Amino acid sequence: MNRAFVIDLGGSQVTGLVATSEDRLRVEALASLPSEGVWRGNITSPDAASAVLRRVMADLQVKGSGTLGPAVVSISGAHLEVLNGQGMKLIVPRARHITNQDVMEVVNHSRAILLPPDREQIHVVPRAFRIDGEPGFMRPTGHPGSKIEAETFIVTGKKDAVETLQRVVVSSGGTVDQIIHAGLAAGLGVLKSQEIDQGALVVDIGYGTTDVGLFFAGSIAFAASIPVGGGHVTSDIAELLKTSVEDAEQLKIDSGSASPRAVPESDSVQVCQLGQPLTRPMHRRVLAEIIESRLREILLLAKAAIDKTGLNTRVTLVVLTGNGAKIPNTDRLAAEVWPDHRIRVEFPAKGTAVALGLARYALQSQEEMAPAAPSAETLVGRVRSLFSGLGKN
């Protein structure tokens, strides 16, 4: 049985999760605490972040998972960039069956790219393979061929940011196995395999970041981390209604709406303004207008990031997640931004989209790394694509 320990170090909450997979993913232990020292995907105070993570890890151990093992951790932040890699390997002797080792080598070949000295590669995901020039292979292992080519998705980031993240995990008593883009993880957390095949966009609205992932043809096509989130919605409310941040947060959660038109004109909310002894009634619609304006900006930034790639033509589904999308009618606003798309809002019952996606990723890569079965046929069955079943095999 495979087991994965994952960490979602968010700006609002730190979530740790242990998951196992037999037939399907099962959450064995889950722990979550309010975050400290993380803002816009960047760790602004490593000591504070580490103190929280240490408690989350202790909590996970108490919940019966024993030793946690190396962690798969998410990363976000505006410094992240993604690029497409190309790898090639000649198979000798010609036309023998392709092995796991060949696949690993061709994927590694795709990583031979030059980066500025302050940046590093964080992870690489194979998207599709060609065998002897024929495209569309998701699982090339076991196929006969003379040449294998790989198309990969490579995530790069600022060295400082990656090192700080690693340091936080290590100083909390853990070790890092892999670091995965939060936009990719969010998609794996809420999308079904079929949706990854057919095409979907995931928008995870967090506290200081909105992580975006674009999927189609069975794999990740693009990801971005936009440095605006639900925390900005709250600070807008505080600034414009002249309240404390705490009161603004409460107003947003209790009475917020992303659609002013859906709020009856006569609705009012009690607002406690800074320096005022008494609360005063205000139009609830005004609150909704403040929220709508910032949320629309967030969704438009997500749309612009995707549109810029020119890759979104095949995608007709948008899935919203992250607690920042919990404001009622966020889906309605998204339907205005993506009028030709189906919109779904999804909040996992256990853990975050990112944590569950990390677990899915970790468990699946463990499965793929498992020792190869003796016959080529079982091998093909065993080495599944990371994402789904689309493609020739």
Ligand X SMILES: Nc1ncnc2c1ncn2[C@@H]1O[C@H](COP(=O)(O)OP(=O)(O)OP(=O)(O)O)[C@@H](O)[C@H]1O
List residues near Mg ion by CB under 5 A: 10, 206
**Which amino acid belongs to residue 260?**
P
The dihedral sign for the CA sequence 299, 303, 306, 312? positive
Residue 327 contact, options ligand X, Mg ion, none, Cβ 5-8 Å cut-off depending on partner type: ligand X
Nearer to Mg ion, 209 or 257 (CB): 209
Comparison of 233 and 306: residue with beta carbon closer to ligand X: 233
**3-state SS, one letter per residue, for 343-368:** EEECCCCCCCHHHHHHHHHHHHHHHH
Cβ closer to Mg ion: 40 or 285? 40
Residue 142 binds ligand X (CB under 6 A): no
Q: How far is the CB of 102 from ligand X (least distance, A)?
A: 37
Q: Using the rule CB under 6 A, is 322 a contact of ligand X?
A: yes
Q: List residues bridging with 29 in a β-sheet.
A: 18
> Which lies closer to Mg ion via its Cβ, residue 37 or residue 260?
37
The verdict on 253 binding ligand X (CB under 6 A) reads yes
- 384 binds ligand X, rule: CB under 6 A: no
Q: Which does 294 bind (CB under 5 to 8 A by kind): ligand X, Mg ion, none?
A: none
Instruction: By CB under 6 A, tell whether 251 contacts ligand X.
Output: no
Cis peptide leading into 374, omega within 30 of 0? Answer: no
Examine residue 37 and tell whether it contacts ligand X (CB under 6 A).
no
Q: How far is the CB of 49 from ligand X (least distance, A)?
A: 11
Task: Tell me: does residue 236 bind ligand X (CB under 6 A).
Answer: no
The binder of ligand X chosen from 12, 121, 250, 273 (CB under 6 A): 12
Mask: binding to ligand X, 200-219, rule CB under 6 A, as x and -? Answer: ------xxxx----------
Closest approach, Cβ 160 to Mg ion, in A, equals 21
Task: Report d(CA 154, CA 148) in Å as an integer.
Answer: 19
Question: Shortest Cβ distance from residue 294 to ligand X (Å)?
Answer: 11
For the chain, the first-to-last Cα distance in angstroms comes to 25
Using CB distances below 5 to 8 A depending on partner kind, what does residue 222 bind out of Mg ion, ligand X, none?
none
The region of 167-175, 192-200, 320-328, 379-387 touching ligand X under the rule CB under 6 A is: 320-328
How big is the chain, counted in residues? 393
Encode 166-202: b = buried (16+ Cβ within 10 Å), e = exposed. eebbeebebebbebbbbbbbbbbbbbeeebbbbbbbb
Q: Extract the runs of DSSP E, i.e. beta strands, from the chain.
A: 2-9, 13-21, 25-34, 38-39, 42-43, 71-75, 81-90, 96-97, 119-131, 134-137, 144-145, 147-158, 176-181, 200-205, 210-216, 219-226, 268-271, 280-283, 317-321, 342-345
Q: Say if residues 218 and 176 touch (Cβ distance below 8 Å).
A: no
Q: Which is nearer to Mg ion, 103 or 220 (CB)?
A: 220
Residue number with CB closer to Mg ion (336 or 347): 347
Contacts of 377 (CB under 8 A, 6+ apart): 142
| 100, 323, 365, 388: which one binds ligand X (CB under 6 A) | 323
Rounded CA separation 325/314 (Å): 24
Q: What residue type is 314 in one-letter code?
A: R
Q: Which is nearer to Mg ion, 38 or 383 (CB)?
A: 38
d(C-alpha 206, C-alpha 392), whole Å: 37
DSSP letter (8 states) at residue 57: H
Work out whether 77 is an interface residue with ligand X (CB under 6 A): no
- Of the candidates 199, 86, 192, 198, the residue with the CA atom closest to the CA atom of residue 135: 86
Candidate ranges 25-33, 111-119, 191-199, 227-235; the one touching ligand X (CB under 6 A):
227-235
Choose the binding region for ligand X from 9-17, 263-271, 285-293, 369-377 (rule: CB under 6 A).
9-17
Q: Which residue has the tokens 């930034």?
A: 301
List residues near ligand X by CB under 6 A.
10-13, 35, 41, 76, 206-209, 229-231, 234, 249, 252-253, 322-324, 326-327
